[in-house]
Amino acid sequence: MTNDFGLDSDVGLAPEQVDAFVEELLGEAIPRPIVWSSLSSEQAQTILEDLAEWVCWLTSRYQLDGRELPPCWWRHGSFVEELSALRGAWLVSYDENQTAAAMADWHRIFHDTRHRLREWLSRAGCSTYEHRRGDQQPWAGDQLDAWWSEFRRDVEVKIRDVVDGTPGAAGHD
């Protein structure tokens, strides 16, 4: 028995097959959740760098300050997971095939996430850069060379800590 797409309805498709089919029909794949522990070091580094670029945009666009997101967010699994989920929801909500209501749904998710980020920050006890209302944090707005150098160096050396979720292994969680 075949379905509307001419596929055998009794045959299950792997997510990769569904993605390929959707990409063929719509031009892009469905964003999938990131399971950090299943990634190779190279995959994790690439995805984490993509996430960092998006987080810098997010921080700049929504003027997040040190009470919600410290400059060392990428060293903490809790922040990486929260921000990965938020980015995944953003990719789906801002897809050109979505209705305008999807953007409002994303902002509700973002509101809830901001509360959780504050909780994670209070638990982590990290110090933050001095913040003046309305200013962007320099690590997010200007993407200073020093911040990116430290970020890339730490990611290369300690990516397994993030992937494995080993508490305290990097000395930061």
Q: What is the pLDDT of residues 9-35, one digit of tens each?
A: 556 777 777 767 766 666 666 788 899
* Domain count for the chain: 2
Q: Are residues 65 and 11 in the same domain?
A: no
Give the model confidence (pLDDT) of 125-149 as tens digits: 786 653 223 344 556 555 566 777 7
Q: Are residues 64 and 117 in the same domain?
A: yes
- Per-residue pLDDT, 173: 46
Q: Are residues 90 and 21 in the same domain?
A: no
Q: Residue 8 phi/psi, 5° resolution?
A: -65, 115
Instruction: Name the residue range of residue 2's domain.
Output: 1-30
- Per-residue pLDDT, 133: 37
Lowest mean pLDDT, pick from 47-56, 90-99, 109-118, 122-131: 122-131
Q: Are residues 71 and 115 in the same domain?
A: yes
Q: Are residues 5 and 89 in the same domain?
A: no
The pTM assigned to this predicted structure is: 0.61
Two structure tokens written together for 61? 């666009």
Q: Are residues 129 and 76 in the same domain?
A: yes
Q: Are residues 5 and 64 in the same domain?
A: no
Q: Are residues 52 and 103 in the same domain?
A: yes
